[in-house]
Chain A
């Protein structure tokens, strides 16, 4: 299950609507091992395309270096589909290389840049296997449980 706070959910949807008809993409980082999507980072779609997305390689390195410095990892990797359903394409499955991440797909095919509901779905993609999971949108993430040794 993906548990995500309302503000981050809304920000991902807003990004997808803004970039329509091109695909929008980004990540939500969180503390390593926490499964908490806490820090959203919008990325430029270097492909600038309605059917493909790719993080710019220089920005990708900068993003990961920042996450390493913060002891973070990509908890959510999101992108939009602008003409098809919010389900991973064959390309998405073939290129998914973050086995720990929740892959979020947003489809803007219904309303494009305009207001209106969107499909927002989440998947695990591991070794070419896609497993859809429930999305639990909460007002705020619960306080982090600190394990004291």
Chain B
């Protein structure tokens, strides 16, 4: 069971410059833990502690098969073999 994860430019310092890596996990939370094991430091850039527990950072977008995971349960979003995960930083400011 593996999924491909597209890594944005700003996080490629954690993946040795790789644009895409593979990871494993039954849901997004487990996938991020798996990524962290192979690319230490990346989790902190994706997830932050909140009152109700860890959650995705507000200005990081994660998509599973082109769907924003915020509509799929966030970190609980389920994953299947062959899914495509894309991480994109928000483009935002004031």
- Which A residues have a C-beta under 8 Å from some C-beta of B? 25, 27, 43, 47, 51-55, 57-58, 60-61, 64, 73-74, 77, 79, 88-92, 95-100
CB <8 Å contact, B68 and A97: no
Question: Is A97 in contact with B93, judged by CB distance below 8 angstroms?
Answer: no
Max chain A CB contacts within 10 Å: which of B8, B89, B90, B93? Answer: B93
| A51, B94: Cα distance in complex, Å | 5
From residue 46 to 66 of chain B, which have CB atoms closer than 8 A to chain A? 59, 61, 63, 66
> Is residue B86 within 8 Å, beta carbon to beta carbon, of the partner chain?
yes
Contact of A64 among B10, B68, B70, B88 (CB under 8 A): B88
Q: Complex Cα distance A95/B58, Å?
A: 10
**B22 CB to closest chain A CB, in angstroms?**
18
A89, B88: Cα distance in complex, Å = 22
Q: Which residues of B contact A (CB under 8 A)?
A: 8-10, 59, 61, 63, 66, 68, 70, 86, 88-94
A54/B61 in contact, CB under 8 A: no
Check if B93 sits within 8 Å of A92, measured CB to CB: yes
Partner of B91, one of A27, A52, A88, A99: A27
A98 CA / B88 CA spacing, docked (Å): 10
B89 touches A97 (CB 8 A): yes
Out of A58, A73, A79, A99, name the residue touching B93 (CB < 8 Å): A79
